[in-house]
Structure 1
Amino acid sequence: MSLPLADGPLAGAAAALGVGLLVGLERERRKGEGPDRQAAGIRSFTVVALLGALAQGLSQALAAPGLLLLGGAMVGALAVAAYWRSAARDPGLTTELAMCATYLIGLLCMSAPAWGAGAGALLALLLAARGRLHHFATRVLTEHELHDGLLLAALALVAVPLLPAGPQAWLGGADLRRLAALVLLILLLQAVGHVALRLFGARTGLALSGFLSGFVSSLATIASIGARARHGDVPLRAAQAGALASSAATWIQSMMILGAIAPPLAWLLLPAALAGATVALALVAWLSLGEAPTEARPPADSAMLRVREAAAVALMIVTATLLLGAAGRWLGERGVVAGAALAGVADAHAAMAALGGLSSGGLAPGTAIWGVWAALLSNSAVRAVAALASGGRRFGALVGVGLAAQLAAAALALYLR
């Protein structure tokens, strides 16, 4: 048996009342006291929310949609009067806009109480977070980060949805929209890593820095950390932990790429990726024990997004797709595996994205899996050589052993599947 307030006008009115009280309670704490106080508080916002609910209910009952406009005009006039009264000492429009939003939420509550209640809670949360949002926008967020955030939003909301979907012959069968979404994913990971390092860099070590940088390029991360270890800028164990943490990011990002392009192939390789990432993180934890945290905070004026690197990954993916497609046509399945190994030397993610695209286009799952392994083997070998060359014998030996242990664990997990 359902409760009497589970639906219907009573539920809408109750939701509107709750929204008015919630938003009004937040505004009441900020409106001040005395003759200079703000015009609207808990009672005003509750009445505005109930006015919206009554206008919606009466307009439906009496078939008079003009009541909605009348109620909106009344609330708008009150908001204008409140702003005119307080503009000299407080030029902000937050309270006045909140009154109009509360009226509209009251309307929404009568037709969709759950949505109305959620919108009211979100509005109250937004109003209550004023100080934190102001601090974040003016003190934490830099000009570069604001620019990069707007660029990221434009790519996600405008550029990617407008691109054509489906295989494109001139790209060797690759899906242009999925390719753009992959570039967007890489940029998003860069942004997350940058913000995390800005917030926690002084209290974390090279392990977190290496893990976040590994989403961009594990090879470049290992070479950079190895050079710092060779020159004595960071402790050896901390440097090794950072290098192996970047390899854990490679496993995670590989699954994200394959999951976006070829979900069936990603599902087949998931146990192997989990095993490889688990071994990498276990080695990182072991190496990090007893190590003092190291400074890893990027400069405040550094860019959050590295668009050229993401575009370079997209170019490598297209090149690898064309290479593997041509190898498959000319040399058959062995050509695809050999091409994947060759592409993996430059970038494992590009090779996997290309194999995922070919798998969606009809490449046999067994051949795709062998291609992934070929790319991982060649890329791991290059990373081991880079660790040895940049960081010396002690640094490179342990990193190489760690990479080999990850591959062995991944192979065992895939065999036992």
Structure 2
Amino acid sequence: MDEYVINLSNFQLTQQDFFIRLLVSIGIGFLIGLEREHAAMTDNEKSFAGIRTFVFVVVLGFIATMLHYLLAPWVYGIVLLSTVLIIGIAYWVTASKGDIGGTTEFSALIAFFLGSLSFLGYIELSLAVTVMVLVLLSSKLKLKAIVGKITREELYDLIRFVVAALLILPFLPDEAMGPYEVINPSEIGWVVILTSGLGLLGYLLIKFLGASKGILLTGIFGGLVSSTLITWVFAKRSKETPAISANYATGILAASTIMVIRVMLWVSIFNGALAKSLYIPFGIMLLAAAGITLYFYLGHKDGKEQDASIPLGKPLNLQGALVFGLLYMAVIVLISYTHAYFGTGGILVSSSIAGLADVDAITISVSKLTGATVQLQTAGTAVLLATICNTLVKFSIALWAGSREMRKFILVGYGLVFLAALLGLGIVNW
């Protein structure tokens, strides 16, 4: 029978759990203290807290929480206030010497609460927060470098995105309205935020990782922003430097591979049943696109200088986001209209036409209507047709704008992707 350290009606703690949680607390304090002490030695600075101090702080939070249950709740408050006072004095001393940074002091306060969480049994949460803290603490130079590269316009766009997501989106009415009652302002807001957020992620990845790492990564990250843009830019570049046309073709195919993943992401978010029916067809397309991309990449790796820069534009184009929202509304109404008046054939034709312009809007629209308005098989066919038509646009752009040397790679690469897509269509309609 387990012996209890605490055995109350609202909280029980066995001796075994007590020692496990205590060891976790000590480990957390050791890791944070190790990072802080190493940082102080590297920067040749003095710090009020190192390994031992952080272990003591975490254990203090652990013991204070235990005393909350064994003695009285106010004990925890007194210990916490005393800890804050000591940390505040330490900061005042270091600040008076010209060091106004408070990273170590705030880390110590977080360590105290991590000790409390560990005592209460939130081990996974404590470790997750510890990892996050360690990553932030050890990324000082990298974070400064990133901040130094962010322009004022990019900062304002990031703020606009946060405002739209946190202050505007929650207040949009969540009710169906408009033709066929398929327009829901809240859902449209979510669609715009999700697509804008994915584009923003791609923008940041290209800015900080992509262009400096070569054509392949730029194509991969650019596929999150616009695979059509990547196709156009790289096709034009292939005429300027025909010797590395294969590399640019690889970047174009990489962007198209990400487009396939992006389509499946939207389907998975908005309709799980439709996603399950499309896993195999899109899995075949993904294997074909990724496989030929990897084959071309491995076959044409060289040390030649590659121009992987692309015109990024703005991280958050509000006008573009609003246009996408209007496009999504138009497409979802069009799908409902064609289904009502022309049946399955109308949906497939309108999906194919819409896919020529934008695959995201038609994918999300069909996913939202599947089950209520559109049958599963019809929806799967519509999404595949839209994807094929959108891929056909990029294929045409690459052939028209690309160099003669690039065309053979485009024909082979996209030829394989189209064959995989046709196989997927056959599976969906089996």
Normalising by structure 2, we get a TM-score of 0.81
Report the secondary structure of 2:48's partner residue. Answer: coil
- Looking at structure 1, the residues matched to 309 and 329 of structure 2 have their Cα atoms a distance apart, in angstroms, of 34
Change (3 A) 1:231 1:273: same
2:129 to 119, 124, 136: 119
Residue type of the alignment partner of 1:327: T
Deviation of 1:344 after TM superposition, in Å, equals 1.9
> What corresponds to 1:132 in structure 2?
142
Superimposed CA distance per residue, residues 284-342 of structure 1 (whole angstroms, 9 cap, x where no aligned partner): 3343322545121358x964344444443332222111111111112222211221122
Would you say the 8 A contact 2:384–2:425 is kept in 1? no
- Which amino acid is the alignment partner of residue 347 of structure 2? V
Structure 2: give runs of 5+ residues left out of the alignment: 4-13
Over the residues paired in the alignment, what is the CA RMSD in angstroms?
3.4
Amino acid aligned to 1:383:
K
Give the aligned partner of residue 297 of structure 1. 309
1:229 aligns with 2:248: no
Distance 1:22 1:37 in 2: 18
Residue of structure 1 in register with 2:354 after alignment: 343
CA distance in 2, matches of 1:69, 1:296: 57
The worse-fitting range, judged by mean Cα deviation, of 174-183 and 367-376 is 174-183
Aligned counterparts of 1:20 and 1:334: Cα–Cα separation in 2? 65
Once the 2 structures are TM-superposed, how far is the Cα of residue 268 of structure 1 from its aligned partner?
1.2
Counterpart of 2:281 in structure 1 is 272
The equivalent position to 2:28 in structure 1, one of 19, 23, 48, is: 19
- Say whether residues 1:365 and 2:376 are aligned partners: yes
**Matched letter for residue 83 of structure 1:** Y
Identity value in percent: 24
* 8 A contact 1:323–1:339 mirrored in 2: yes
**What corresponds to 1:325 in structure 2?**
336
Task: Map Cα deviations across residues 5-48 of structure 1 (whole Å, 9 max, x no partner).
Answer: 542x444433333333333333344556xxx9433333333333
- Structure 1 residue 60 and structure 2 residue 58: aligned? no
Using a 3 Å threshold, how does the CA distance of structure 1 residues 55 and 275 change in structure 2: closer, same or farther? Answer: same
Q: CA deviation at 1:60?
A: 1.0
The reply to whether residue 355 of structure 1 matches residue 355 of structure 2 is no
- Which deviates further from its counterpart, 100-109 or 170-179? 170-179
Once residues 104 and 76 of structure 1 are traced to their aligned partners in structure 2, the CA distance between those partners, rounded to angstroms, is 11
Letter in 1 for 2:140: R
Q: What's the CA shift for 1:61?
A: 1.1
- In the TM superposition, residue 70 of structure 1 has moved relative to its aligned partner by 1.0
List aligned pairs for 1:67-82, cutoff 5 A: 67-82=75-90
Query: 1 CA distance for matches of 2:166 and 2:232?
Result: 35
CA–CA distance in 2 between the matches of 1:19 and 1:228?
Answer: 51
The 8 Å contact of residues 194 and 298 in structure 1, kept in 2 or not, is answered as no
Separation in 2 of the partners of 1:41 and 1:337?
A: 65
Contact preservation (8 Å) 1:31, 1:38: yes
- Counterpart CA distance in 1 for 2:234 and 2:421 is 25
Q: Which deviates more, 279-288 or 167-176?
A: 167-176
Partner of 1:48: 57
The size of the alignment, in residue pairs, is 410
**TM-score of the aligned structures, taking structure 1 as reference length:** 0.84
Deviates more, 1:97-106 or 1:373-382: 373-382
CA distance in 2, matches of 1:18, 1:336: 59
Would you say 1:385 and 2:396 are equivalent positions? yes
1:346, distance to aligned residue in structure 2 (A): 1.7
Q: Retained in 1: the 8 A contact 2:29–2:111? A: yes
Unaligned runs of 5+ in 1: none
